[in-house]
């Protein structure tokens, strides 16, 4: 099976600049693939696209465990290349190696109140899902400011996000408007969301988000055995005990995965109908899903392993992208500083 | 009158590195001179000294008015040079032109909780004295982190401060210990205070701190007329109505200034005694103080004006110091990043 390339989401528009990124806290998984990575392969043919390996953001809740972030940077780059991100079409760059991002964050931090950050629904829900207690790191509460720096530093105008991330873009645009108003000039560009038409892929156990630490996900580099094990453990319909029972498709993780990954939509529709009527066993359908995932992931796993066997090449690709990103972001920083009169030298 | 050079506060110790700085939000005044600047002229002969023109910190409560900061950078540099800071002995550098400071701030922000920042007594009292309400800028609440970046980036170990600033140094040392513990290496150095033996100079009206915006101070560049006016308006003893009345010396701003600025301690002691007994009029004593301040400030004002007439030279001096500071701080940043494993390139 080839990595399927769905129809373009948008008509070609080289004026728009796309920015995405991933916290470098672990190798990427099928949730990333469906929710974002696959779309980026598409987008790189239509837009000027930058992908940020967000190691600094990964540190905002791993400040005491930087090795977790550092050790995953090249994994993430290998994931990108393995699924088809082409460094000649997409700028892949490393956040910690782009000083202008930290500098812009410092300027923007003076334009955003602590109260405003505490009201941010995305940050609120993330704080609730973590074990910070009263000890929320300053870097974590303020990371929407750093994200605004990322977006504006690359003059990105189109940000592929899930709707849970919309408050982050609103925060960015507030900063853009404030800064432009202070500068009395359009120094920064506002951005808009590119909402994904793919719903979030549930975890294998159906209990929520995929998370490597929860052991409920399939990584892009998973072995054939791990894929097989994950599919066998997949949550289906707990009331579908006998082959001839009518089964439920809604909330059945298995069919959500078939929808997301099987290339033949009609065939999946037929399977669903059969399952609902009764007469289709979980064993058989799981075999179909497993085959489909094995076909998808085998070449990715192979490319990924090959890429990781030559780390110097990965470093070199990341370095070239980062140098390009530094140039772009330094230019934006110079404009912001000039607008503030801070351009003595 | 010469700018008097008091006895060294410490014996010579070239191992210690001294860092001081000033928010570039206005030209400096007599309060700065007595509280810090005069001591720096002394310290530069004994230590490796860096002075930071803290424009970024000035922006933390002037985010919407960057011009106030930008327009004062060269004023502050001229103040330094006019009072005798020697750029061949002291590194004078500009905070916003040293990217490592922003980058270190980002790393340290992950090691400090919002709750810890909110407990900082110095920040608490500064927040109370400002009109932020609920709208404390993120950059203001977090500026102790940025200050820790300043101190550690230059490997400064000795920080001349008033005792109200001790919590800032404690915050810095907490970050140093945390980072060194994560890195399992002495990447950063702890600092210690160099407590000034000069009490804070009160405002001319005796109502509190000097502040240019309150119009109750004497700037280093004040004209002879302004100095005369300020001394005449100076708060003395409100019950000392007739020359023959006994006067109070305690809380008498006039005598605090004589103590701070008159070179002849014995003469000032005699004046105090005469004033307390009665028979010494405010007019006469004010004339003595005015003469002393005019003598102190005339050459400073003259040098200051001369320096400001050649801005290119000021920029050049600041640039040389900043380049030196960039080298030092880049080296510290590299060590921090390497300790975190973030040194791919």
Q: Which of B63, B99, B142 has the CB atom closest to A142's CB atom?
A: B142
Is A315 at the interface with chain B, CB within 8 A?
A: yes
Is A142 at the interface with chain B, CB within 8 A?
A: yes
Name the band, by pLDDT with cuts 50, 70 and 90, for residue B331. Answer: very high
Q: Which residues of A touch B94 (CB under 8 A)?
A: 344
Q: Note the pLDDT of residue B211.
A: 63
Name the band, by pLDDT with cuts 50, 70 and 90, for residue B198. Answer: low
Q: Note the pLDDT of residue A215.
A: 60
Rounded to an integer, what distance in angstroms lies between the CA atom of residue B37 and that of residue B29? 10
Contact of A324 with A91, CB cutoff 8 Å: yes
CB contact under 8 A, A105 and B110: no
Domains of chain A with bracketed CATH: 17-201+311-339 (3.40.50.620), 212-307 (1.10.240.10)
CA angle B226, B227, B233 (to 5 degrees): 90
* Chain A residue closest in CA terms to B322: A345
Q: Note the pLDDT of residue A190.
A: 98
Percent of chain B with pLDDT over 90: 74
Is B71 at the interface with chain A, CB within 8 A?
A: yes
With CA atoms as reference, report the closest residue to A96 among A24, A158, A9. A24
Which residues are CB-neighbours of A247 under 8 A, at least 6 positions away?
A236, A237, A239, A240, A275, A276, A278, A280, A282
Q: Note the pLDDT of residue A15.
A: 83
Rg of chain B over CA atoms, in angstroms?
22
Residues 163-222 of chain A whose Cβ lies under 8 A from any Cβ of chain B: 178, 182
Question: What is the average pLDDT across A259-280?
Answer: 93
Q: Which of A60, A62, A318 has the CB atom closest to B344's CB atom?
A: A318
Rounded to an integer, what distance in angstroms lies between the CA atom of residue B138 and that of residue B293? 41
Is B69 at the interface with chain A, CB within 8 A?
A: yes
Q: Note the pLDDT of residue B345.
A: 92
| Residue appearing with tokens 């319909």 | A237
Distance from CA of B46 to the nearest CA of A (A): 30
DSSP symbol at B193: E
- Between A72 and A125, residue with greater pLDDT: A72
CB contact under 8 A, A115 and B135: yes
Rounded to an integer, what distance in angstroms lies between the CA atom of residue B284 and that of residue B236? 13
Rounded to an integer, what distance in angstroms lies between the CA atom of residue B90 and that of residue B48? 7
> pLDDT tens across A176-211, in order?
999 999 999 999 999 999 987 666 788 877 777 666
DSSP symbol at B24: S
Q: Which residues of A touch B145 (CB under 8 A)?
A: 138
- Is a pLDDT exceeding 70 seen at residue A11? no
Query: Tokens for A193?
Result: 């969301």
Q: Note the pLDDT of residue B308.
A: 98
Q: Note the pLDDT of residue A94.
A: 98
Name the band, by pLDDT with cuts 50, 70 and 90, for residue A219. Answer: very high
Rounded to an integer, what distance in angstroms lies between the CA atom of residue B6 and that of residue B261? 12
Is A84 at the interface with chain B, CB within 8 A?
A: no
- Between B133 and A51, residue with greater pLDDT: A51
Report DSSP letters for B143-156, one per residue: HHHHHHHHHHHTT-
Q: Is A49 helix (H, G, I), strand (E, B) or coil?
A: strand
* Chain B residue closest in CA terms to A345: B319
- Between B191 and B249, residue with greater pLDDT: B191
- Is a pLDDT exceeding 90 seen at residue A33? yes
Helices B282-308 and B73-83, axial angle in degrees (round to 10): 110
Report DSSP letters for B264-330, one per residue: -HHHHHHHHHHHHHS---HHHHHHHHHHHHHHHHHHHHHHHHHHHT-HHHHHHHHHHHHHHHHHHHH
Q: Note the pLDDT of residue A213.
A: 56
Q: Note the pLDDT of residue A113.
A: 96
Rounded to an integer, what distance in angstroms lies between the CA atom of residue B110 and that of residue B342? 15
CB contact under 8 A, A106 and B71: no
Residues 39-58 of chain B whose Cβ lies under 8 A from any Cβ of chain A: 55-56
DSSP symbol at A121: H
CA angle B204, B205, B211 (to 5 degrees): 65
Helix ranges, B20-89 (H): 30-32, 38-43, 55-59, 66-70, 73-83
CB contact under 8 A, A102 and B103: yes
Q: Note the pLDDT of residue A9.
A: 45
Q: Note the pLDDT of residue A236.
A: 82
Q: Which residues of B touch A147 (CB under 8 A)?
A: none
Q: Which of B55, B66, B341 has the CB atom closest to A71's CB atom?
A: B341
Least confident of B21-25, B31-35, B92-96, B136-140: B31-35
Q: Which residues of B touch A97 (CB under 8 A)?
A: 344-345
> pLDDT tens across A61-115, in order?
999 999 999 999 999 999 999 999 999 999 999 999 999 999 999 999 999 999 9
Q: Is the dihedral of CA A121, A123, A126, A131 positive or negative?
A: negative
Q: Note the pLDDT of residue A212.
A: 59
Q: Note the pLDDT of residue B5.
A: 34
Q: Which of A59, A114, A135 has the CB atom closest to B138's CB atom?
A: A114
Distance from CA of B204 to the nearest CA of A (A): 32
Mean pLDDT over the full length of chain B: 91
Name the band, by pLDDT with cuts 50, 70 and 90, for residue B210. Answer: low
Percent of chain A with pLDDT over 70: 92
Residues 88-107 of chain A whose Cβ lies under 8 A from any Cβ of chain B: 94, 96-97, 99-100, 102-103, 105-107
Rounded to an integer, what distance in angstroms lies between the CA atom of residue B76 and that of residue B273? 38
Name the band, by pLDDT with cuts 50, 70 and 90, for residue A29. Answer: very high
CB contact under 8 A, A136 and B145: no
With CA atoms as reference, report the closest residue to B34 among B266, B259, B294. B259
Question: What is the average pLDDT across A321-326?
Answer: 98
Across B323-337, b (16+ Cβ under 10 Å) vs e yields eebbebbbebbebbb
Least confident of A5-9, A225-229, A258-262, B14-18: A5-9
Q: Note the pLDDT of residue A197.
A: 66
First to last CA, chain B: 56
**Helix (H) or strand (E) segment spanning residue A54:** strand A48-54
> pLDDT tens across B159-174, in order?
999 888 999 999 999 9
> pLDDT tens across B8-31, in order?
444 455 589 999 999 999 999 999
């Amino acid at each position: 099976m080839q990595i399927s390339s769905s129809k373009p989401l948008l008509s070609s528009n080289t004026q728009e600049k796309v920015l995405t990124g991933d916290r470098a806290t672990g190798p990427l998984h099928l949730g990333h693939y469906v929710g974002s990575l696959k779309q980026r392969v598409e987008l790189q043919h239509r837009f000027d696209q930058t992908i940020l390996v967000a190691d600094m953001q990964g540190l905002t809740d791993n400040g005491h465990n930087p090795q977790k972030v550092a050790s995953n940077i090249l994994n993430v780059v290998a994931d990108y290349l393995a699924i088809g991100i082409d460094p000649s079409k997409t700028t892949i760059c490393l956040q910690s190696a782009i000083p202008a991002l930290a500098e812009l964050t410092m300027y923007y931090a003076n334009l955003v109140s602590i109260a405003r950050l505490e009201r941010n629904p995305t940050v609120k829900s993330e704080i609730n899902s973590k074990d910070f207690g009263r000890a929320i790191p300053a870097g974590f509460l303020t990371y929407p400011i750093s994200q605004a720096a990322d977006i504006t530093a690359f003059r990105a105008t189109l940000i592929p996000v899930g709707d849970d991330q919309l408050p982050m873009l609103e925060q960015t645009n507030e900063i853009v408007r404030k800064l432009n108003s202070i500068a009395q000039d359009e120094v920064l560009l506002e951005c808009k969301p590119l909402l994904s038409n793919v719903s979030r892929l549930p975890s294998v156990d159906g209990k929520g988000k995929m998370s490597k630490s929860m052991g409920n996900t399939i990584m892009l580099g998973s072995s054939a055995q791990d894929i097989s094990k994950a599919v066998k453990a997949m949550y289906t319909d707990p009331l579908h005990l006998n082959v001839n029972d009518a089964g439920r498709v809604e909330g059945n993780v298995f069919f959500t995965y078939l929808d997301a990954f099987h290339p033949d939509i009609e065939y999946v529709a037929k399977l669903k109908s059969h399952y609902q009527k009764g007469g289709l066993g979980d064993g058989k359908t799981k075999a179909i899903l497993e085959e489909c995932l094995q076909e998808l992931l085998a070449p990715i796993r192979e490319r990924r392993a090959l890429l990781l066997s030559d780390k110097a090449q990965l470093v070199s690709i990341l370095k070239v992208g980062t140098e390009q990103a530094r140039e772009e972001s330094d230019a934006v920083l110079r404009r912001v500083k000039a607008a503030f009169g801070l351009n003595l030298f």
